[in-house]
Chain A
Amino acid sequence: MQHVQPPFAGPPMKSHYSDAPAAEPIARHTLAVIVDNEPGVLARIAGLFSGRGYNIESLTVSETEHEKHLSRITIVTTGTAHVIEQIKAQLSRLVPVHRVDDLTVNGDAIERELVLVKVVGKGEARVEAMRLAQAFGARTVDATLSSFIFELTGTSDETERFISLMTACGLTEVARTGIAAIGRGAESM
């Protein structure tokens, strides 16, 4: 077979794409997104994040205005300032999305998460679990002779700390809701 000779004399090029940008600081942002509660809306949001390579740390969703069929989605994400800008712009561009608020930029928002923790054990570990739960202000929502289920609402830091302490006291199961957040003050979305 007769092949064309390579005319290019210089060092071979690596790729026809530009190089990766230099590393930039990464920040954590909490976004509140108001959407029409229609079939597939969650898949659209999740697909946007996976398709464009964005991170999701936490995502919660529930219908908040039943008459208008509006849902509020709270998303905690991480990225460079540029990526966060893109995420907000991409979200706003989706047809069923009404509004996107960056609660992190708008000031210190109230963020809460609910966890349910099941602890199984007897004797000293059980007493210690009970004591720690009280210290954290957790509610005991179920108890048997060998187990407890505690409910704790707090910031992610608090719930995280609670879970890691409970691990030492016989934790067997955790369920977390993910973060719900709302901006401080009189102003509303």
Chain B
Amino acid sequence: MSETMTGAEMVVRALQDQGVEHIFGYPGGAVLPIYDALFHQDKVKHVLVRHEQGAVHAAEGYARSSGKVGVVLVTSGPGATNAVTGLTDALMDSIPIVCLTGQVPTHLIGSDAFQEADTVGITRHCTKHNYLVKRIEDLPRIMHEAFYVAANGRPGPVVIDLPKDIQFASGTYARPASNQHKTYRPQVQGDMEKIKAAIALMASAKRPVFYTGGGVVNAGPQAAALLRELVRLTGFPVTSTLMGLGAYPASDPQFLGMLGMHGTYEANLAMHGCDVMINIGARFDDRITGRLDAFSPHSRKIHVDIDPSSINKNVKVDIGIVGDCAHVLEDMVRLWRSTAPQVDKVALKGWWDNIAGWRGRKCLAYRKSSDVIKPQYAIERLYELTKDREVYVTTEVGQHQMWAAQFFKFEEPNRWMTSGGLGTMGYGLPAAIGAQLAHPNALVVDIAGEASILMNMQEMSTALQYRLPVKVFILNNEYMGMVRQWQELLHGGRYSESYSHSLPDFVKLAEAYGGVGIRCDKPDVLDDAIREMIDTPRPVIFDCVVDKAENCFPMIPSGKAHNEMILGDAAEDIGSVIDAKGKMLV
């Protein structure tokens, strides 16, 4: 069925046909026709953010918590440039986003017209793909193709730049029979011969470890279920990147915790000492590998990734399998079941004994206090008091983000949203808004730092306007704590510009926005204050005043190897828990 309509109407119709229920945006001259088309319908609901960066992060939170494509609508020029940080964030963390940007009319492109920016030029390097629509005939195809490109293969952000004359032009719209791009066909099914070789290698392993990442979450809930099945079938230990948390349940005894720069001692040493590494949907990021030439020196490596360029990019692997994690895991589970391999039980037992020794160091231990709230304690209590609910957690960037990753236990995928690849301060509040919109009855908490939260604080207005009862839980240490920590460790404690000066009163700020403010600075009343926050059915800013001097451990200093980790002073001494054999592996 084809119909005649304007370009702006086509945009909205295509969104409806894609099943889009919510979009995040901010109006301006170059997108007014689209806003007019939105006005005439109510299938696609528009959420008015307060800054375009917030729109993209909100769409990311929406996408990552729901598995859908997040949609953004912004105007030309400053609207588009404000969206750039969000787009880059989505590219780095492989989040499917379609971002519609207004553009000056085609005949003015290149003339430095009012609010003109070369949006496709600027976003070329921070999108998976982008389009400038120059003919109305191309618009229906591009709209649908963009959703295909954003969601298929390795997901990512796609920009469609829409000149205003195209929005006014009239043409025929028909929903294309297929969304598919004419040539782009990512490979989802893994090569069976390589999967067989991988299973054989796994079966022969003496010191294996699964290293899983955001790719498992992106491949959908069935991928997480298959991962659980495979890990339990094999009996191997499993660790996860920051982006992959929740794909495997954190409370499970086979889970070693997160790995990487602030990962656990046991996870990093297992990576260092393993003989077979099974990477599922992770990308050997430098925060994970540490010093590359010392990375897991004795292992043979299997790498499953949907992005062929991820394989052998940073780390050379023995078996690289291009494919969607869910498909490959399904094959692996089936093969493992049908071949029922005889694993080396004695060796595996020894490996688990080693791991038990490393666990015994209690690398996440910290000195408790009864006068000041330790940030780790605050996250532990937040977790304990919310764990029986449907809870979604977002974060800003800094120490609080790492403590959240270490101390909040995620049992399910899609519950944890953080800016991993780009490390964007200001991500958490808008992402929480997006997640809350997708899950109206869930508890959504942004674990924040007092510095980061100020970067997109304006989104409190959005939360209020749409009655989204997000909770901003600020670990207020009055410092850009992560910067202060590095200055302490690397720059002789010269805290150059890392003190959070002239902070607002967060309680009054919450109230000024029409939300609820809660402050707590005593450990003994923390539980009550957290309960009050949970029970408040409105947006809350919780100013949790914590120890200013606390550092985030364990830590692999950058440029060091996994076995050169620094532990906090509360961890157990190495001599007391590791026997001679264990030390050989360290």
In the assembled complex, how far is the CB of residue A21 from the closest CB belonging to chain B, in whole angstroms? 6
Residues of A within 8 A of B114 (CB): 17
Given A47-B121, A50-B121, residue A17 in contact with residue B105 (CB < 8 A): yes
Partner of B120, one of A14, A16, A17, A50: A50
Residues of B within 8 A of A14 (CB): 168
Tell me, yes or no, whether A86 is within 8 Å of chain B by CB. yes
In the assembled complex, how far is the CB of residue A86 from the closest CB belonging to chain B, in whole angstroms? 7
Q: Is the CB of A21 within 8 A of B164?
A: no
Residues of B within 8 A of A105 (CB): none
Residues of B within 8 A of A52 (CB): 109-111, 118
Tell me, yes or no, whether A53 is within 8 Å of chain B by CB. yes
In the assembled complex, how far is the CB of residue A11 from the closest CB belonging to chain B, in whole angstroms? 15
135-185 of chain B: CB within 8 A of chain A: 164-165, 168
Given A47-B121, A50-B121, residue A17 in contact with residue B110 (CB < 8 A): no
Tell me, yes or no, whether B559 is within 8 Å of chain A by CB. no
Tell me, yes or no, whether A145 is within 8 Å of chain B by CB. no
In the assembled complex, how far is the CB of residue A180 from the closest CB belonging to chain B, in whole angstroms? 27
Given A14-B168, A15-B105, A15-B164, residue A51 in contact with residue B113 (CB < 8 A): no
In the assembled complex, how far is the CB of residue A121 from the closest CB belonging to chain B, in whole angstroms? 29
Partner of A17, one of B113, B118, B121: B113
Tell me, yes or no, whether B106 is within 8 Å of chain A by CB. yes
Tell me, yes or no, whether A146 is within 8 Å of chain B by CB. no
Given A50-B121, A51-B118, residue A15 in contact with residue B168 (CB < 8 A): yes
A90 — nearest CB in chain B belongs to which residue?
B110
Tell me, yes or no, whether B58 is within 8 Å of chain A by CB. no
**Which interface residue of A14, A15, A52 has the most chain B CB atoms within 10 A?**
A15
Q: Tell me the complex Cα distance, A50–B123, Å.
A: 13
Tell me, yes or no, whether B108 is within 8 Å of chain A by CB. yes
Partner of B110, one of A15, A20, A21, A51: A51
Q: Tell me the complex Cα distance, A20–B113, Å.
A: 13
Q: Tell me the complex Cα distance, A20–B168, Å.
A: 13
Q: Tell me the complex Cα distance, A22–B446, Å.
A: 54
Residues of A within 8 A of B111 (CB): 52
Tell me, yes or no, whether B581 is within 8 Å of chain A by CB. no
In the assembled complex, how far is the CB of residue A43 from the closest CB belonging to chain B, in whole angstroms? 10
Given A14-B168, A15-B168, residue A20 in contact with residue B118 (CB < 8 A): no
Q: Tell me the complex Cα distance, A86–B571, Å.
A: 67
Q: Tell me the complex Cα distance, A47–B121, Å.
A: 7
92-146 of chain A: CB within 8 A of chain B: none
Contact with B along A33-62 (1 / 0, CB 8 A): 000000000000001001111100000000
Contact with A along B299-325 (1 / 0, CB 8 A): 000000000000000000000000000
Tell me, yes or no, whether B107 is within 8 Å of chain A by CB. yes
Residues of B within 8 A of A53 (CB): 106, 109-110
Size band of the interface chain A makes with B: 10 to 19
Q: Tell me the complex Cα distance, A15–B121, Å.
A: 25
In the assembled complex, how far is the CB of residue B42 from the closest CB belonging to chain A, in whole angstroms? 15
Q: Tell me the complex Cα distance, A109–B363, Å.
A: 75
Tell me, yes or no, whether A2 is within 8 Å of chain B by CB. no
Q: Tell me the complex Cα distance, A117–B513, Å.
A: 70
In the assembled complex, how far is the CB of residue B31 from the closest CB belonging to chain A, in whole angstroms? 12
Q: Is the CB of B168 within 8 A of A17?
A: no
Tell me, yes or no, whether A5 is within 8 Å of chain B by CB. no
Q: Tell me the complex Cα distance, A21–B114, Å.
A: 17
Q: Tell me the complex Cα distance, A47–B119, Å.
A: 11
Residues of B within 8 A of A188 (CB): none
Tell me, yes or no, whether B493 is within 8 Å of chain A by CB. no
Given A50-B120, A51-B121, A53-B106, residue A20 in contact with residue B165 (CB < 8 A): yes
Q: Is the CB of A20 within 8 A of B120?
A: no
Tell me, yes or no, whether B104 is within 8 Å of chain A by CB. yes
Q: Is the CB of A18 within 8 A of B109?
A: no
Q: Tell me the complex Cα distance, A12–B104, Å.
A: 19
Q: Tell me the complex Cα distance, A102–B164, Å.
A: 33
B106 — nearest CB in chain A belongs to which residue?
A53
Given A47-B121, A50-B121, A51-B118, residue A20 in contact with residue B107 (CB < 8 A): yes
Given A51-B118, A52-B118, residue A17 in contact with residue B109 (CB < 8 A): no
In the assembled complex, how far is the CB of residue A88 from the closest CB belonging to chain B, in whole angstroms? 13
Q: Tell me the complex Cα distance, A16–B114, Å.
A: 10
Q: Tell me the complex Cα distance, A5–B131, Å.
A: 37
Q: Is the CB of B106 within 8 A of A17?
A: no
In the assembled complex, how far is the CB of residue A138 from the closest CB belonging to chain B, in whole angstroms? 33
Q: Tell me the complex Cα distance, A15–B28, Å.
A: 12
Interface on A for B, CB 8 Å cutoff?
A: 14-18, 20-21, 47, 50-54, 86
**Extra A-B contacts (4), CB below 8 Å, given A17-B164, A20-B106, A52-B111:** A15-B105, A17-B29, A50-B120, A54-B110
Interface on B for A, CB 8 Å cutoff?
A: 29, 104-111, 113-114, 118, 120-121, 164-165, 168
**What 3 A-B pairs have minimum CB-CB distances, sorted nearest first?**
A52-B110, A51-B118, A20-B107
Could you list 26 examples of A-B contacts with CB < 8 Å?
A14-B168, A15-B105, A15-B164, A15-B165, A15-B168, A17-B104, A17-B108, A17-B113, A17-B114, A18-B108, A20-B105, A20-B107, A20-B165, A21-B107, A50-B120, A50-B121, A51-B110, A51-B121, A52-B109, A52-B111, A52-B118, A53-B106, A53-B109, A53-B110, A54-B110, A86-B110
